[in-house]
Amino acid sequence: MTESGKLYIVATPIGNLADITQRALEILQNADLIAAEDTRHSGKLLSHFGITTKMFALHDHNEKQKAQYLIDLINEGKSIALISDAGTPLISDPGYNLVNIAREQDVEVHPIPGPSAVITALSAAGLPTDKFLFAGFLPVKQQARLSELQKYKNADFTTVFYESPRRVIDTLKYMMEVYGEERELVLAKELTKHFESFVKGSAPQIIDWLQVDKDRQQGEMVLMVSPNKVEQLMSEDAEKLLLALTDELPLKKAAAITAQVHGLKKNDLYKYALSLQKED
């Protein structure tokens, strides 16, 4: 039930319209106003479901300025639903300022959960999900993009990026440079749509897959990077031993001894020790 004087954050489908929830439809139908990122785009979704609620444009460029106006309407007793072009608002989409101001001013905010590309991609990628990091979109500038990737190099969790088709090949090349040619990645494309696909492999393998056909380079994409295996497997004790030995012995020897003591692969340890040396 939509109650007056509240802000609802409503998730909408990321491709397949049948993924809209019953609650989302009820809230959107009964709200006094729908704040939408792009009213023309969302107009199509709403008319598909026969929803005639008035819309208000709230996007990155006017959000700060218009947020207080919307909060004032809520304080006058109106109920407002926030949606974005697709998926969950605020997840790489506008809405943060509005929700932040609403919370500061004790306005009730209710999430109406539903699709989001990050969770949809993770749920079917076959990568570890007990711990993950959503890193959003990478910066556009080359140096900033490289240093952002560098931050997650030794992550012992899955890292998830949103990526645009225009930049995906470049990003994969950077990933190859920073993470090496063997790190396992998953590219999830066109989720919930007709041409949905998951491509698992190393960066060079995914680049090859994309280059087979220009059509493969189109559409919406999520890129996931598997955890750094050695980081995941190596205990604190193993790392301490490896570091102590590398001070005294050649890397190969230090890796071999640590591998024997801790039951790990010497090649993995060698690469790990090498990457630490490069960082220094």
Query: Binding residues for ligand SAM, per CB under 6 A?
Result: 14-15, 84, 86-88, 91-93, 116-118, 162-164, 188-193, 220-222
How distant is the alpha carbon of residue 114 from its chain centre? Answer: 15
What secondary structure letter does DSSP report for 186? E
What secondary structure letter does DSSP report for 84? -
Amino acid at site 260:
Q
The three-class DSSP label of residue 10 is strand
Q: Which is nearer to ligand SAM, 43 or 219 (CB)?
A: 219
Amino acid at site 209:
W
- Minimum CB separation of residue 219 from ligand SAM in Å reads 7
Q: What residues contact 43, with CB distance under 8 A and at least 6 apart?
A: 55
- Minimum CB separation of residue 251 from ligand SAM in Å reads 39
CA-CA distance, 122 to 159, in Å (whole number)? 10
Which segments of 128-190 does DSSP mark as H helices, in order?
142-151, 168-179
Beta bridge partners of 224: 160, 186
Q: Could you tell me if 59 and 37 are in contact, meaning their C-beta atoms sit under 8 angstroms apart? A: yes
Radius of gyration of the chain (CA): 23
Q: Could you tell me if 86 and 14 are in contact, meaning their C-beta atoms sit under 8 angstroms apart? A: yes
- Minimum CB separation of residue 280 from ligand SAM in Å reads 35
Q: Which is nearer to ligand SAM, 186 or 254 (CB)?
A: 186
- Minimum CB separation of residue 247 from ligand SAM in Å reads 44
Q: Which is nearer to ligand SAM, 57 or 233 (CB)?
A: 57
- Minimum CB separation of residue 215 from ligand SAM in Å reads 15
Q: Which is nearer to ligand SAM, 220 or 239 (CB)?
A: 220
- Minimum CB separation of residue 190 from ligand SAM in Å reads 5
Q: Which is nearer to ligand SAM, 222 or 254 (CB)?
A: 222
Q: Which is nearer to ligand SAM, 187 or 273 (CB)?
A: 187
